[in-house]
Amino acid sequence: MIAAPNASSEEPSRRWSSAVFALSTASGAWLLYLAVVILRCIVYGFKHPTMLIERHALTALVAIGMAALLYLLLSRIENAPMRRRLAAALLGAAPPALLLSFINYNVMYVFVPQAFRDAMGVDVHLSLLGEVLSSAIENYFVFAAWAALYTAVSHAVQTQDLLRRAATSEAAARSAELRALRYQLDPHFLFNALNTVSGLMLSGDVPGADRTIEALSSFLRATLAVDASADISLTDELQLQQLYLQIEQVRFGDRLAVEVSVPEPLGNAMVPALLLQPIVENSIRHAVARSTKPVHIAVAAQVTGETLVITVANDGPDGRATGGHGLGLANVSSRLALRYDGKAGCEYRQSSDGGFVTRITLPLRFGQPSRALAA
């Protein structure tokens, strides 16, 4: 199986790592706390400073570990609304703050040598509840501020990435639209179509020539009316391709056979406009036009779970060489990757009979047929 290049190789994870940001900021916050403790030891000249710093260092290390656990919680709801994420950050900061305060109480007041207690004037009979709650409030503000910062930055990065994807997807769609128009106005395409009309006229088949001219004008009018950056129904997309195939059918006659197998309920499934144009164009240009025997093109659609699967296959002679297909299918793959954030794809391969098969997968969504095409 050959997969077309993925245009979304520049994924957010390569430019922005939420785990790196979370752990680095948490580490920075608690290392700053430790630096303040060291500075106090120097300024105030505490006895046993090494012992004091070691205990605060242990507390800071535990705090960083708790921040990592809090990050795991927040990363699970990265696709949730901002209000819910912020609420989870503020509420999720409470348990680690309370637990850290309890650990800090034991480290500083319980499990310490007697010499440290005497030098520091530690009262082991301090109220556990009062001391823990007092420390928990301070710790909570640190955890909550860090969690809110992570949530805000993560949301900002996601928003920027969505905007980038939307802009890139629209640019790719516009590029696809221009390519489609170029195919429509390609001198060879127009020459072949007009040459077909001329041949029909010379042979006296005026009705056939009229049908070809009507199909050509309908094809040009329909594709010009479609916004390539929008989604249209699968029925509308197939109508566009049928208009194109009507012209080629007159040109190739019995050498071209087309079969469309799409269940009626899938007619309103939404797909990017002109998605199939490069694929159908490839089948005509690299299979039918190069064959002296009849070539069968089959277009099918089915549902697998919540995924729409569209297959375009031909039994032409060119399946052994994929060079003529690569660019068009790479463009299709790029559009799908950008439009559906990596949840869609385009794969192609040589079939067992020597032909060529293209398989498109994308999320299943439903809408209404386009009025522009219906008109």
* Domain coordinates in residue numbering, the chain: 2-164, 186-374
- Check residue 176 and give its pLDDT: 63
Look-up of token digits 């277009």: 299
Encode pLDDT of 273-320 as tens digits.
888 988 998 888 888 988 888 999 999 999 999 999 999 999 987 544
Q: What is the pLDDT of residue 7?
A: 41
| Across 212-224, average pLDDT | 81
Eight-class DSSP state of 254: G
Q: Burial, 99: exposed, middle or buried (Cβ in 10 Å; 0-12, 13-18, 19+)?
A: middle
pLDDT in tens, 24-43: 888 888 888 888 878 887 87
Under the banding of pLDDT at 50, 70 and 90, the label for residue 346 is: very high
Angstrom distances, CA of residue 256 to CA of 41, 119, 120, 278, 298: 87, 96, 93, 17, 11
Give residue 126's pLDDT band: very low, low, confident or very high (50, 70, 90).
Answer: low
> Residue 351: left (phi > 0), alpha (psi -120 to 50), or beta?
beta
Q: Give me the DSSP letters along 70-136.
A: HHHHHHTTTTS-HHHHHHHHHHHTHHHHHHHHHHHHIIIIISS-HHHHHHHT--TTS-HHHHHHHHH
The structure tokens listed for 57 are 């260092």
Q: Which of 54-68, 127-141, 335-349, 352-366 has the lowest mean pLDDT?
A: 127-141
Single-letter code of the amino acid located at 110: V
pLDDT tens digits, one per residue of 233-257: 999 999 989 888 988 888 888 899 9
CATH topology classification for 186-374: Heat Shock Protein 90 (3.30.565)
- Global confidence as pTM: 0.53
Asked if 215 and 184 touch (Cβ cutoff 8 Å), the reply is: no
